[in-house]
C-alpha cells in the first residue's frame, strides 16, 4: 500500500465535486493512509460530514472553534499531524482565500499554520469553466503556486452547470496517484528519462504478425517511478492496453523499427535511457499485401527473416560517444541461466547496468523479481509489486549517476 503509515488531511471546499471526494477518501484509506477530513461550510451543503466520517473512520472537523480539541487550536493540531494536505475540491473562493492569506475559517487558517518545509499542500481546483478562466482566478492560482502549493490541474469535459470545458476536478484515482507521487523521494529532479516498454509487433500480412507475451507493465511502472522521482519522462510503448502514468509523455509504436526511430528521435542529450521493452530480434523479410489464405492440401507458407535494429546497442554507442552524459540501462527477459545470460548481455551491449528476470514467471503479472548486474557484481531485488521494484531500480540508477558525477 503506497500510503501505509501516512496521515493525510483531506480538505473539502464548497462545490458539486465534493461527491468525488468521497471516492477519493476511500481510495486513500485503501492505500493505507489515515485520513482526517476537514470540511468548509460550503462543502457541507453538498455532502454530509457523516458520509466522510464513515469513509475515513474519523470525526470530521468543520469549525475553527471545535471544542473537541483539548487546546482549542484545531488549525495547529491538524496541520502538525499531517504528512500532506490535499484540498479537493478547491473552489474559486478557497483559492482566493489562500492567495490573500485569509485566516477567518479553519481551512485557510490551517494552511497558513502548516510547516511549509515539511507538509506539502496539494490543490485540486474545481469550478465552472468561466470561473476557471477568469483573470482573478488565474492570478490567485499563480500566487498560491508562488507561495509553495502544488497545483494539480483540472480536467476538461461536461460540467454540472451544463457547460463543457476546463475546470472539472481531476478524477479520484488521478488525485491519489498525484499524492503518492508527491510523497516519493525526488531523486531524479532535473533528469530527462526515456523508457521503452511492452512488446513489438512485426506484421506478416494485414491481419497477422509476430509478437511476444510482454504486457508492458514493468516498463510503465518504471516510467511512473521516474516521474514520481521528479524526472521529465518520455515513454515509448509498443502495442499494449495500459493507461499512461501521470506526468509522462507517451509515444505509441508497433514495430521494432518504429520503436528504434522514436527512441533515436526523442533521446535526451543528457539523462537516462531504460530499455525495458521486449523488442523482436527479427521481422519477416517480406510482408504480404493481402491475408495469406490457407489452401486445401497446400503446404504451409514459409517465412524468411531479417534482423531488426538493436535499439539498446545503438543508444549505448551514442552514450559512449557523449562521454557518459547519457546513462543506459538494459533489460533481459530470460528463460534459463539468468545470471550468466544477464552478465553476457551487459558486456555485449556495453551498458553500465542491466536488469534481468525470468520472463515466463512475470509476463502479464503485477509482480516481478529483478537481478541487477553491473561491472561490480549483482544485486537481487526480491519478488514484489512491479511499481515497488521500479522505485528501487530508480533509486539504484540515481545512486549510480550521483556516484559517477561526484
**Which residues face 271 on adjacent strands?**
326
Report the alpha-carbon distance of residue 264 to residue 98 in Å, rounded: 45
Residues near 383 by beta carbon (within 8 Å), at least 6 away in sequence: 367, 368, 369
Q: Cell 491481419 maps to which residue?
A: 207
Pairing state between β 326-334 and 377-385: unpaired
Is there a domain that residue 187 lies in? Answer: no
Q: Which domain holds residue 342?
A: 192-405
Report the alpha-carbon distance of residue 349 to residue 325 in Å, rounded: 17
* Domain final residue pick, 150, 182, 214: 182
State which H helix or E strand residue 54 sits in.
Answer: helix 49-56
* Domain final residue pick, 182, 217, 241: 182
- Is residue 244 domain-shared with residue 104, that is, in the same domain? no
Q: What is the mean pLDDT of residues 231-239?
A: 98
Is there a domain that residue 116 lies in? Answer: yes
The distance of Cα 212 from the centroid of its chain, to the nearest Å, equals 25
Long-range pairs, 107-111, Cβ under 8 A, ≥24: 107/11, 107/13, 107/38, 107/40, 109/64, 109/75, 110/9, 110/11, 110/38, 110/74, 110/75, 110/76, 110/78, 110/79, 110/85, 111/79, 111/85, 111/87
- Is residue 340 domain-shared with residue 397, that is, in the same domain? yes
Least confident of 77-81, 318-322, 377-381: 318-322
Phi, psi of 116 (to 5 degrees): -65, -30
* Domain final residue pick, 128, 150, 182: 182
- Is residue 89 domain-shared with residue 231, that is, in the same domain? no
- Provide the pLDDT for residue 69: 73
Q: What is the mean pLDDT of residues 234-245?
A: 97
Is there a domain that residue 371 lies in? Answer: yes
pLDDT at 322 over 80: no
Is there a domain that residue 348 lies in? Answer: yes
- Is residue 288 domain-shared with residue 199, that is, in the same domain? yes
- Provide the pLDDT for residue 324: 67
- Is residue 203 domain-shared with residue 349, that is, in the same domain? yes
Number of domains in the chain: 2
Report the alpha-carbon distance of residue 322 to residue 271 in Å, rounded: 11
Task: Respond yes or no: is residue 161 known to be catalytic.
Answer: yes
- Provide the pLDDT for residue 325: 87
CATH number of the domain encompassing residue 12: 3.40.50.1950
Residues near 76 by beta carbon (within 8 Å), at least 6 away in sequence: 110, 113
Q: 124-162: buried (b, 16+ CB within 10 Å) or exposed (e) per residue?
A: bbbbbbebbeeeebeebbebbeeeebbbbebeeeebeee
| pLDDT digits 0-9 by tens, 265-285 | 999 988 999 999 999 999 999
Is there a domain that residue 74 lies in? Answer: yes
pLDDT at 338 over 80: yes
Q: What is the mean pLDDT of residues 193-222?
A: 97
Is there a domain that residue 1 lies in? Answer: no
State which H helix or E strand residue 63 sits in.
Answer: none
- Provide the pLDDT for residue 405: 66
Annotated catalytic residue: which of 111, 161, 276, 328?
161
- Is residue 169 domain-shared with residue 229, that is, in the same domain? no
The pTM assigned to this predicted structure is: 0.93
| pLDDT digits 0-9 by tens, 103-139 | 999 999 999 999 999 999 999 999 999 999 999 999 9
Residue 93 CA: distances (Å) to CA of 41, 71, 99, 120, 131: 12, 29, 10, 21, 10
Average pLDDT, the chain: 95
Report the alpha-carbon distance of residue 309 to residue 160 in Å, rounded: 52
- Is residue 354 domain-shared with residue 231, that is, in the same domain? yes
| pLDDT digits 0-9 by tens, 69-80 | 777 788 898 999
CATH number of the domain encompassing residue 203: 3.40.50.10300
- Provide the pLDDT for residue 406: 59
- Is residue 156 domain-shared with residue 211, that is, in the same domain? no
| pLDDT confidence tier of residue 298, bands split at 50, 70 and 90 | confident
Is there a domain that residue 32 lies in? Answer: yes
- Is residue 128 domain-shared with residue 266, that is, in the same domain? no
At CA 279, angle to CA 277 and CA 282, rounded to 5?
180
Amino acid at each position: 500500500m503506497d500510503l501505509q503509515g501516512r496521515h493525510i488531511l483531506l480538505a473539502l471546499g464548497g462545490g458539486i465535486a465534493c461527491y468525488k471526494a468521497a471516492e477519493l477518501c476511500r481510495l486513500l484509506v485503501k492505500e493505507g493512509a489515515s485520513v482526517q477530513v476537514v470540511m468548509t461550510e460550503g462543502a457541507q451543503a453538498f455532502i454530509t460530514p457523516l458520509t466522510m466520517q464513515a469513509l475515513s473512520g474519523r470525526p470530521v472537523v468543520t469549525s475553527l472553534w471545535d471544542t473537541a480539541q483539548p487546546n482549542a487550536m484545531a488549525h495547529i493540531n491538524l496541520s502538525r499531524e499531517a504528512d500532506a494536505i490535499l484540498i479537493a475540491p478547491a473552489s474559486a473562493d478557497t483559492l482566493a482565500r489562500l492567495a490573500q492569506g485569509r485566516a477567518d475559517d479553519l481551512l485557510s487558517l490551517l494552511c497558513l499554520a502548516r510547516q511549509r518545509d515539511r507538509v506539502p499542500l496539494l490543490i485540486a481546483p474545481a469550478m465552472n469553466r468561466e470561473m476557471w478562466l477568469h483573470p482573478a482566478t488565474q492570478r490567485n492560482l499563480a500566487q498560491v503556486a508562488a507561495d509553495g502549493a502544488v497545483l494539480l490541474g483540472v480536467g476538461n469535459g461536461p460540467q454540472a452547470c451544463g457547460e463543457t470545458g476546463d475546470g472539472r476536478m481531476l478524477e479520484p484515482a488521478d488525485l491519489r496517484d498525484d499524492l503518492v507521487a508527491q510523497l516519493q523521494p525526488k531523486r531524479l529532479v532535473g533528469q530527462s528519462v526515456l523508457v521503452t516498454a511492452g512488446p513489438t509487433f512485426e506484421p506478416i500480412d494485414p491481419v497477422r504478425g509476430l509478437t511476444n507475451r510482454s504486457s508492458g507493465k514493468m516498463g510503465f511502472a518504471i516510467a511512473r517511478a521516474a516521474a514520481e522521482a521528479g524526472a521529465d519522462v518520455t515513454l515509448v510503448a509498443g502495442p499494449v492496453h495500459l493507461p499512461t502514468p501521470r506526468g509522462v509523455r507517451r509515444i505509441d509504436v508497433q514495430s521494432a523499427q518504429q520503436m528504434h526511430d522514436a527512441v533515436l528521435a526523442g533521446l535526451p542529450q543528457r539523462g537516462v535511457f531504460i530499455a525495458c521493452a521486449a523488442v523482436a530480434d527479427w521481422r519477416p523479410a517480406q510482408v504480404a499485401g493481402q491475408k495469406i489464405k490457407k489452401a486445401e492440401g497446400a503446404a504451409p507458407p514459409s517465412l524468411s527473416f531479417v534482423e531488426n535494429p538493436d535499439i539498446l546497442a545503438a543508444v549505448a554507442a551514442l552514450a559512449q560517444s557523449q562521454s557518459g552524459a547519457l546513462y543506459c540501462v538494459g533489460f533481459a527477459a530470460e528463460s534459463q541461466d539468468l545470471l550468466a545470460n544477464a552478465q553476457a548481455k551487459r558486456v555485449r551491449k556495453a551498458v553500465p547496468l542491466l536488469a534481468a528476470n525470468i520472463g515466463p514467471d512475470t509476463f502479464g503479472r503485477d509482480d516481478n523479481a529483478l537481478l541487477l548486474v553491473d561491472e561490480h557484481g549483482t544485486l537481487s531485488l526480491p519478488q514484489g509489486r512491479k511499481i515497488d521494484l521500479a522505485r528501487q531500480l530508480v533509486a539504484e540508477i540515481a545512486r549510480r549517476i550521483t556516484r559517477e558525477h561526484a
